[in-house]
Structure 1
């Protein structure tokens, strides 16, 4: 389908609703991870979440078997699996260390890293407006962390590592989805991450209880559902339409943290997260504008 055809079949309301469903799924998943507390090592929790989540890809086995991957694609999947494994372990650790709202707000940094990486490694342009938006996002991160005004905990450092690794992982997705079905890309990620985390989980293994397994299966269910809903949202509408909806995740996470985990509401975290998301939304909006110009070029319109 051409870009013009894709534009004609966009369904913005459906895209917003699917992104709302994705956001709710991710927030519930995060809260469930938080509820695990110190009852299980974060690395073992991460491993079991992905292992149990593999059941959702059984229907895709036929597609996986029929897909013929090149050596380069196998290499990308392997490298992505290693990087995403690190991201997942760091994220599960961060969840045991810092409030829910801070995890959610700092997670918004991932698209910023993707934008920077796309410019450095994929040849995408970095115009002045995009650079300004990145600077605003980084200011938002500094507002959340407030170095010098409070202690930067290992959880904060873990989240910085998480978003960096996630950014690299998503850059690799950007390359892979141009060649391979998204279902295969997501399934291969789950398989490789399960394998990647396994040795670390074995090193700290403690036999889980049935309630713990139940919570982990619920985490896997909401995570898989969230990724599926997000894919539907991206198919239905441009990222410029669906991206601002993700701000609701910060509101929901802040409320859950206050009402369920007694974490209180940190004004600076909300402010910093808002700045980061505003910068991301601006970047995605500019990308949408540029794509429309490519479809219907206007010689009188100045370039960025």
Structure 2
């Protein structure tokens, strides 16, 4: 097979798996929205992780074999604390603002990562990349429109979610060169489950069997989404797969309209497009520079 044809097929495969990834994450968002505020956010998040521990079984042996040092355990613990905060804020926001707004504001994580990498990891922030970051922040303002409409607690929670996930990624980046990826993912599940436990117990409400079933589906779709995302990245470069993630916002807006009666806000779509364009530009610049600092939008686990 000619090299050009193989490259084209790989790109199509990457696009396909990224589309599947987007559908999985939209399903996660929809189910959490459906469960709504019937369960406290911390408890819903805890149950999602507890029910998802079944997927951790294949990771136990590599974690034990890695013989983690005290420093690595501290970094994993810190990442667990930060990610725990982000997950609780995400579940909180999902019950209070439209699905499309949650999806659009989640695109901010790679922007926060770019800023954090420059401030704390010594990464360069050249003028073009800095301009892309500023444009993305303008996109966030387009979504929020402070002074034009009320900024709700759910919006503030999503700003915190994106920031927490960004900090968690930067910590994972420190560890990724020291331990296997499966260890990084497995330790995240363990530490977040432990971190959520006391918060969930403090606000515990006895869940119904249907609620447990829905939250188990959340764990299934989230796990499937991360797996298909890995397949997408293995098949094609980020410059091909990254722009496809914008489809998640389109699907989220349609789902919110059809299933939950949420109005399609053109300003949210526009702001999300601005943020996604900025993220895609940064990804392209990193590819040109032959390095990868900024992760894909959903590189962090919910």
Give me the TM-score of the superposition, normalised by structure 1: 0.91
Alignment partners' CA distance in 2, 1:95 and 1:30: 7
Residue in 1 that maps onto 2:298: none
Residue correspondence of structure 1 range 1-304 to structure 2 within 5 A:
11-291=10-290
**SS across alignment from 2:289:** helix
Alignment partners' CA distance in 2, 1:220 and 1:177: 23
Alignment partners' CA distance in 2, 1:179 and 1:232: 23
**SS across alignment from 1:38:** helix
Alignment partners' CA distance in 2, 1:173 and 1:228: 18
Query: Number of matched residues?
Result: 284
Runs of 4 or more off by more than 6 Å in structure 1? Answer: none
**SS across alignment from 1:80:** helix
Residue in 1 that maps onto 2:294: none
In structure 1, stretches of 5+ residues that fail to align are 1-7, 293-304
Please say if residues 116 and 167 of structure 2, whose CA atoms lie closer than 8 Å, have aligned partners that are also in contact.
yes
Alignment partners' CA distance in 2, 1:232 and 1:81: 25
Superposition deviation, residue 15 in structure 1: 2.0
**SS across alignment from 2:150:** coil
**SS across alignment from 2:146:** coil
Alignment partners' CA distance in 2, 1:250 and 1:99: 11
- More deviation, 95-104/64-73: 64-73
In structure 2, stretches of 5+ residues that fail to align are 1-6, 292-302
Deviations 1:7-39 (A, max 9, x none): x9x933222222111111100000000000121
Alignment partners' CA distance in 2, 1:188 and 1:283: 29
Residue in 2 that maps onto 1:5: none
Superposition deviation, residue 185 in structure 1: 0.7
**SS across alignment from 1:264:** coil
Alignment partners' CA distance in 1, 2:98 and 2:207: 25
Alignment partners' CA distance in 1, 2:213 and 2:120: 41
Deviations 1:110-149 (A, max 9, x none): 0000111111111111111001101110000000000000
**SS across alignment from 1:112:** helix
> Pairwise CA RMSD of aligned residues?
1.3
Superposition deviation, residue 236 in structure 1: 2.5
Please say if residues 60 and 186 of structure 2, whose CA atoms lie closer than 8 Å, have aligned partners that are also in contact.
no
